[in-house]
Structure 1
Amino acid sequence: MPASLVEIPFDERRIQIEYQWLRPERTQRPLVVFLHEGLGSVSMWRDFPRHFCEAGDYRGLVFSRYGYGRSTPRPHAEKWRPDFMHRQAREALPALFDALDIGPGRKHGVPWLMGHSDGGSIALIYAASFPQALDGITVLAPHIVVEDLSVRNIAATRQVYLDTDLRERLGRHHDDVESAFWGWNDIWLDPDFRQWDLRPLLSGLKCPGLAVQGEDDEYGTMAQIEGIHRYAPQTTLLKLARCGHSPHRDQPEALTQAAVRHINTHTSYLK
């Protein structure tokens, strides 16, 4: 199905969110909601969500967060605050689910979340904040603390954006590429953001979780997913060799096999 727009309330205004349903006719199958990375969008996922849903015989929902893709752009003078991922998880995502009739007792039922990078962190916050509102999570290269490695390579990405054709390449996926890039880059390099820390929330994770990290991840170390397991020991860890920050691009088959097994194992009517 082509992408559509839905209007939701956020930050005392109305914004439009780009979204796309995958295989919606599979009404009796689990729904997987895909949460993109810090520079991602519906189109930046490419074909992975569709292939994943076909492999597991799932329904899917892919969407672009505020400021990304074809969703309402962030005004250039508006700066993300250190709590921007908390606000996405606790305000924007519930509003989107309300608008699309997703959740307990609703038309599309309770979802699974699959989040990448910033999207993985948002999935963790949502799961800890609304434990009855989802069936489980898969997080790919999530952040739970700000590491020096992350800051160093995000600073390097800023220079790449200024010096190469990265702006043009990202512009294929975002209506306002300057808004998307600088919103992400500025907050991650803000000194105040160094204190950002999800660890106090993680003991609130009650759902089944799969946390995935590449051994060659340039934006985070294994301390990220190992920290999740320390506070939420029901979380299964998957460490992938020959894999960087994007397991769905670098190791799609291994990720798909593990995540489908994870969902099917923890979905009662599929056992």
Structure 2
Amino acid sequence: MHDSLGSVQLWRDFPAKLSLATECNMLAYDRLGYGKSHPMPTHERPVNYMELEADLLNDLLTELNIHNAVLFGHSDGGTIALITAAKYPERVEAVICEAGHIFVEEVTLKGVYDAWEAYKTTNLPERLQKYHGDKVETLFKAWTETWTRDDYRSWNIEYLLKNITCPLLFIQGEADEYGTLDQVEKTVSQVSGNAEKYIIPGIGHTPHKEVPEIVLERSVKFINREF
């Protein structure tokens, strides 16, 4: 599952390489409002939008008759993977969470504000348009305005973590500009299943793009060991 500005296309060849190396079937999709999907009806989101995305993912897995999923999610996608594993444990065999969030931090908000400034002052809108077409403004507002709303400051999914019983690998760059290592530590310490962390020195928010071979190798090792 992709991040808050991501799409299937932005994953590049990483999912295909992971599928080939693990001999697992692969499903990747653009969430509503991203990539080649239909536009969002509005940029306004409820506080629990990622919980609702987990429900939609469960519906998709049900429709496709998938009962033994290994979820790999980045950022928002990582959080959605965690929530799905907590709410629908019968469908999820394991989770790889890359740079996910379980609560709001000041560093996250700073990252959002910095991105908003880049959106206004650089060619970021044009670069995003390559992947999202005319949906860019809506999806960008959906991300930035939701995370910086006063009522979103108290968003927290730690209460769900105890319901995650499947194996978990949490990958994060040590220099992640959107989250501290508290996100990792508080996740792996509160889930009920076996959990491990993989912190990559000097790497930011997108390890699968910054050091794809390292992330691929570690993910393959995790999946092959569990299955």
What TM-score do the two structures reach when normalised by structure 1?
Answer: 0.80
Task: Give % identity.
Answer: 37
Q: Secondary structure at the match of 1:236?
A: strand
The answer to whether the 8 Å contact 1:74/1:183 transfers is no
**Residue 114 (structure 1) aligned with residue 79 (structure 2):** no
Larger radius of gyration: 1
Distance 1:164 1:111 in 2: 39
Distance 2:170 2:75 in 1: 11
**Residue 181 (structure 1) aligned with residue 160 (structure 2):** no
Residue of structure 2 equivalent to 1:61: 27
Distance 2:62 2:137 in 1: 30
Between the two proteins, the alignment pairs up a number of residues equal to 225
Amino acid at match of 2:27: L
Amino acid at match of 2:162: S
What TM-score do the two structures reach when normalised by structure 2?
Answer: 0.95
Q: Secondary structure at the match of 2:128?
A: helix
Cα deviation, 1:147-205, whole Å, max 9, x if unaligned, reads: 00000110110111111110000001113111221111111111111101011111111
The answer to whether the 8 Å contact 2:174/2:181 transfers is yes
Residue of structure 2 equivalent to 1:165: 123
Cα deviation, 1:110-159, whole Å, max 9, x if unaligned, reads: 11000000000000000011111111000000101100000011011011
Greater strand share, 1 or 2? 1
Residue of structure 2 equivalent to 1:41: 7
Q: Shift in Å at residue 55 of structure 1?
A: 2.3
Q: Shift in Å at residue 253 of structure 1?
A: 1.6
Q: Secondary structure at the match of 2:26?
A: strand
**Residue 124 (structure 1) aligned with residue 82 (structure 2):** yes
Distance 2:203 2:79 in 1: 19
Residue of structure 2 equivalent to 1:81: 46
Q: Shift in Å at residue 98 of structure 1?
A: 2.6
Out of 63, 67, 80, the residue aligned to residue 99 of structure 1 is 63
Q: Shift in Å at residue 242 of structure 1?
A: 2.3
Is there any run of 5+ residues in structure 2 with no aligned partner, and where? Answer: none
Q: 1:142-161 alignment to 2 at 5 Å?
A: 142-161=100-119
Residue of structure 2 equivalent to 1:6: none
Residue of structure 1 equivalent to 2:220: 260
Distance 2:66 2:166 in 1: 18
Q: Shift in Å at residue 239 of structure 1?
A: 0.4
Out of 203, 210, 224, the residue aligned to residue 162 of structure 2 is 203
Distance 1:44 1:97 in 2: 22
Q: CA RMSD in A?
A: 1.2
Q: Against the structure 1 CA distance between its residues 232 and 98, is the aligned structure 2 distance closer, same or farther, given a 3 Å change threshold?
A: closer
Q: Secondary structure at the match of 1:135?
A: strand
Q: Secondary structure at the match of 2:169?
A: strand
The answer to whether the 8 Å contact 2:14/2:208 transfers is yes
Distance 2:45 2:197 in 1: 31
Distance 1:231 1:75 in 2: 36
Out of 227, 231, 245, the residue aligned to residue 186 of structure 2 is 227
Distance 1:96 1:179 in 2: 24
The answer to whether the 8 Å contact 2:31/2:37 transfers is yes
Distance 2:10 2:143 in 1: 15
Question: Which region of structure 1 is more displaced relative to structure 2, 54-63 or 39-48?
Answer: 54-63
Q: Secondary structure at the match of 1:63?
A: coil
Residue of structure 2 equivalent to 1:243: 203
Distance 1:181 1:255 in 2: 27
Distance 1:202 1:162 in 2: 37
Q: Secondary structure at the match of 2:172?
A: strand
